[in-house]
Amino acid sequence: MPYTAKIKVTLRQSILDVQGKAVEHALKNLGYQTVGSARIGKYIEVTINEEDPLQAERIGNEICQKLLSNPVMENYSLELEKVN
């Protein structure tokens, strides 16, 4: 049974998120005065054709570290879901 890896990649807090800042200003301009900061990230879905959940997790982490995120400026989170 394959897995779907649901991956979120976000800029580290120490990195200025200029897109997030622009969205935050737009929301405030729309009158949402209680809106705080906005941060923009990426959402990626990858199918992993593995039976073993541990193996699927290992591959999921590996692709996040190797290609899908840049650890110098980004964090990632990984969630595995069984495909029926």
Q: Which residues bind another protein (CB under 8 A)?
A: 11, 15-16, 18-19, 21-22, 42, 67-68, 70, 72-73
Rounded to a whole number of angstroms, the minimum distance from the CB of residue 41 to another protein is 12
Whose tokens are 């990195």? That residue is: 15
Backbone angles phi, psi at 65, to 5 degrees: -75, -35
How many whole angstroms separate alpha carbon 58 and alpha carbon 62?
6
Q: Is 44 helix (H, G, I), strand (E, B) or coil?
A: strand
* Identity of the residue, 1 or 73, whose beta carbon is nearer to another protein in the bound complex: 73
Closest CB 38 distance from another protein, rounded Å: 14
Q: How far is the CB of 54 from another protein (least distance, A)?
A: 25
Amino acid 39 reads R
